[in-house]
Chain A
């Protein structure tokens, strides 16, 4: 939709361009920003002109995913990447434009890129306004429904997925009120050296990482909205948790 209060569209070419003026907001794919009224926004700062490579292999074998990488590009890697991309409500037309970073930074419980990256124990590289950067686990970046731990002026540059996670056996389950609808819960298990690490998203307001032996009783942030009642989400999460753990033996 038209963002009727917006009067400027600035293309970012250098990191300094990311310092936001009053009323400015960052524009990545734009698929969420242009889908809801944004009455407080008067200017857009386009991240996609920074030219960040979508995907990079780092020397330690980890995978660097640019915040501006389109979901569809990540989906092409197949496996858990494709499965999570399709756990999103968005259509392929939107996937082609929507970005991984945009999905995570929205902080929505059903943000399946958060599910993916939290599930793979990825780390977000956050550019701070002082020119420095900080690292934060994706599981800790999203702190509530539509809330992140980003502070004013911070920009997510990329997500680094450790090589060990890329190589580890994974199991995943999803549930929703309609097959092609928004996920009501996503449970991803990763077999690590320390046991099975399970990440719950969608049914919770923020990602919850469960260690071996921890059940759904350990979860204190259940989410309820039009996409499923709380009691059903608790039960489905428990069912998926059991299935994921069984699959990863």
Chain B
């Protein structure tokens, strides 16, 4: 085989796919996204034709010429497609980029050509821009055609605030040089890595009565078998927050009770993944199968099987283990009954949201090793795909009874997160394996890379919610009462159950000023795959219900969707109240919401879209969302900005870059603070490493710009002061920190015009407008990309994505069965920005990563209601559900 012009020296093995062969030969630019031909991240050229290398038997390519992304061009000699993706910023995390660039390099540009390539970050607009640019530039004959874009590419990027500064890693991403978690070169200390594989439970609920590991252990190449007998005995939560007390201690590394089909039962560590898998088949496990509860409504009923009934509510921090309730809030301000009685208009309904998967293109993965024996002062090093390296470090130390100083957690570039990597899901097991092997004198790294199927069956997705809403209003449409009853299904473990429940009910309810509010909310355990953190962190589920109910109320009163929100939304100075005392560290000082409502209302009014054909109904809808710019209960970051002897500037920050663009913003903040004291082209960011800074809570809750960015900005200002004071020492270090408080609020309004086809149930988005109150816009292109990506995920959740379970077993286990939006399925969204200056964010900026997702589903639902007269109450609004809604005999929502 000739790869990128050079012959390879090992013959392919039978059964080996081309991707594995290429990566083993050092071509780490070829990515493993789904391993099943659905996502396209592994695309290479085989004799000039684009192929998903995971589907190509390597034996068949033995005599072929193969070209990978890195073979198309290099940083000094970019292929036109690479240059187009660079200039258009056609990526965020960049994990899918190899597949898109290689496919598009053949001139394949249509939606059909690219339907085998998935991107979860961008919403595809920037990818379309890149492809359009390429098409305009590539003359017949390919690379010779160079034009004005060469000039643009060679011009140093502007790093000022308000410029669309290019991500620092952009050139590496488009040329395949960016190293993700497992892209470690063969000469790394982590050579001769062992591979871990896990046996998953076939039962929803069972006690493991016996595990016979003898046959597995006897298999040549097997080094270790871990079962519940090897569990360190420390209860923890996979969810990570600044305080470990935020989440219930209900999880073990390996438990003797399994509580969902798919849970870890045992792990094998072997010389190769193939041997590890073979050893799994030799494990003999006996189970005492117990009754299970899969339905959250039934889970609280008397006599329901208990998921964690044996746990202590105080030490494990579980609200009521005897009722399967992990978290609850019940409270009222004012008098809701009186408010409803006094209301002229009342609306009432119940809404449901589906289980959704984060679907980051890089699966969870970690490789761990000891840099020297612990007894000799060595450390456990864990390279992981994590949004929260410091929190993983601290919890690993807690579970494995080490000092935090004995653990280093580091990341490569992270291939997407969306909340899913705010958990410790693989690190504990590889770390335990490394320590157990070391006790036996085996000092080798251990790696575990989840399969795409395990991303659906083993690790958490989005919490499904059932939300009942009752609203009352006076003659003018001013709210007199809000009542919510909320039920969240956290699955078998309570990771993020508490935070998602409380956050979900917070800004969604607090957005509206109303003297009488009541919220009853509970998160329950069921014997199903756990739910966890997902973009929006509970808000999207509750906002779907409230914004739908408010739409009904507007119709009752006879107000427009924008007007009822103007009359009821909090204004600067109002307290943010849910069902008890208001939080006291949120500054609400800007009029972002009215601006966003005006922007969306005007944009929709300025356009007209007719039905696509006979029999289609057209309608409009909008919805609003508020989000705190920083999560509550502590979020801390420390940073250094160092001017080195050679004049370069190194930024040390703990937070990881996973496509959120924080590294770009950090460069801009440093360049702005230091001005002409340094050369902006020589600013480098070192992040995502517990050795890179003293501490950082992590990149979640949209904090990359406002908390880590705040710390970086303070450190740069400190360095500037030192330079201005005449300090000449080099390296000269400026330090800064940020503690996540006070916080502020950001607003988003989404509006759509849809066409609905009752005979088929199809909902087609004709127009999509999003207004965001992001404060001062630090990087317009990047911010637009964050909004578009969030909106695209919103459309996915609104219309087509759903993790399905049958008898507690996940049946959607591949991208073939789980519909992540493809390039042809995401409508163009017009993105507009409010003109505000945040009083607490760095340089007046607000966070804007999760927020755009939240108002999309209710906006679409309200538009469907407008078009058809029927109210959708369940996500996703898939064609079969919409068809059923429009054809059922009983109208659940008569037109007022």
Contacts and interface: CB of A to CB of B under 8 A. Distances in A.
B760 A91 contact: no
A171 B331 CA distance: 61
Contact of B15 (A7, A86, A225): A7
A97 interface: yes
B880 A93 contact: no
Given A27-B57, A94-B37, A2 B103 contact: no
7 nearest A-B residue pairs (beta carbon): A91-B116, A6-B15, A232-B880, A4-B274, A3-B15, A9-B14, A1-B35
A226 B881 CA distance: 13
A34 to B, nearest CB: 5
A30 B55 contact: yes
Nearest to A29: B55
B17 A179 contact: no
B273 A31 contact: no
B55 A31 contact: yes
B627 to A, nearest CB: 29
Nearest to A230: B880
A228 B817 CA distance: 11
A248 B822 CA distance: 34
Contacts of A9: 14-15, 57, 59
Contact of A229 (B16, B20, B880): B880
A232 B55 contact: no
Contact of A4 (B277, B760, B824, B883): B277
A2 B16 contact: yes
B879 A44 contact: no
A179 B273 CA distance: 37
Nearest to A224: B880
B112 A92 contact: yes
B879 A30 contact: no
B590 to A, nearest CB: 39
A86 B56 CA distance: 21
A91 B118 CA distance: 11
Interface string B17-61: 100100000000000000111101001000001111011110110
Contact of A236 (B113, B115, B277, B760): B760
A92 B760 contact: no
A173 to B, nearest CB: 10
Interface in A17-40: 27, 30-31, 34-36, 39
Interface residues of B, number: 59
Given A5-B278, A91-B40, A92-B113, 18 more contacts: A1-B451, A2-B20, A4-B277, A27-B57, A31-B37, A34-B54, A35-B55, A91-B115, A92-B112, A92-B115, A93-B43, A177-B880, A179-B824, A180-B822, A226-B817, A232-B884, A235-B883, A239-B759
Nearest to A239: B759
A27 B880 CA distance: 36
Interface of B: 14-17, 20, 35-38, 40, 43, 49-52, 54-57, 59-60, 103, 108, 111-117, 273-274, 277-278, 281, 451, 759-761, 800, 802, 804, 811-812, 814, 816-819, 822, 824-825, 878-881, 883-884, 887
Contacts of A43: 14
A34 B57 contact: yes
Nearest to B818: A226
Interface string A157-187: 0000000000000000001011111100000
B885 to A, nearest CB: 11
Nearest to B811: A226
A92 B59 CA distance: 22
A84 to B, nearest CB: 14
B804 A226 contact: yes
A93 B804 contact: no
A150 interface: no
Given A8-B14, A94-B55, A182 B816 contact: yes
26 contacts: A1-B451, A2-B17, A5-B278, A6-B15, A9-B14, A31-B55, A34-B17, A35-B36, A92-B108, A92-B115, A93-B50, A93-B103, A94-B116, A96-B51, A179-B824, A180-B822, A181-B800, A181-B819, A225-B811, A225-B817, A226-B812, A231-B884, A232-B761, A232-B879, A236-B883, A239-B759
A35 B16 contact: no
Given A4-B15, A232-B884, A89 B816 contact: yes
Nearest to A8: B14
Contacts of B804: 226
A4 B113 CA distance: 31
A3 to B, nearest CB: 4
A180 B118 CA distance: 12
Contacts of A179: 824-825
Contact of A1 (B17, B113, B881): B17
A3 B50 CA distance: 22
A93 B879 contact: no
A64 B855 CA distance: 54
* A-side interface mostly: loop
Contacts of A86: 112
Interface of A: 1-9, 27, 30-31, 34-36, 39, 43-44, 46, 86, 89-94, 96-97, 175, 177-182, 225-229, 231-233, 235-236, 239
Contacts of A27: 57
Contacts of A225: 811, 817
B116 A90 contact: yes
Contacts of B760: 175, 236, 239
Contacts of A96: 49, 51
B37 A39 contact: no
Contacts of A239: 759-760
Contacts of A5: 15, 274, 278
Nearest to A228: B880
A232 B818 CA distance: 19
Contacts of B52: 91, 93-94
B870 to A, nearest CB: 15
Contacts of B43: 93
B491 to A, nearest CB: 19
Nearest to B274: A4
Given A2-B20, A179-B824, A36 B879 contact: no
B869 to A, nearest CB: 20
B824 A180 contact: yes
A175 B277 CA distance: 39
B15 A2 contact: yes
Contacts of A233: 880
A96 B451 CA distance: 26
A36 B815 CA distance: 12
B21 to A, nearest CB: 9
Contacts of B103: 93
Contacts of B111: 180
Contacts of A180: 111-112, 115, 822, 824-825
B127 to A, nearest CB: 15
Contacts of B37: 31, 34-35, 90, 94
B886 to A, nearest CB: 11
A6 B15 CA distance: 5
Given A9-B59, A30-B55, A180-B824, A4 B14 contact: no
B57 A4 contact: no
A185 B558 CA distance: 42
Contacts of B35: 1
Contacts of A178: 800, 819, 822, 825
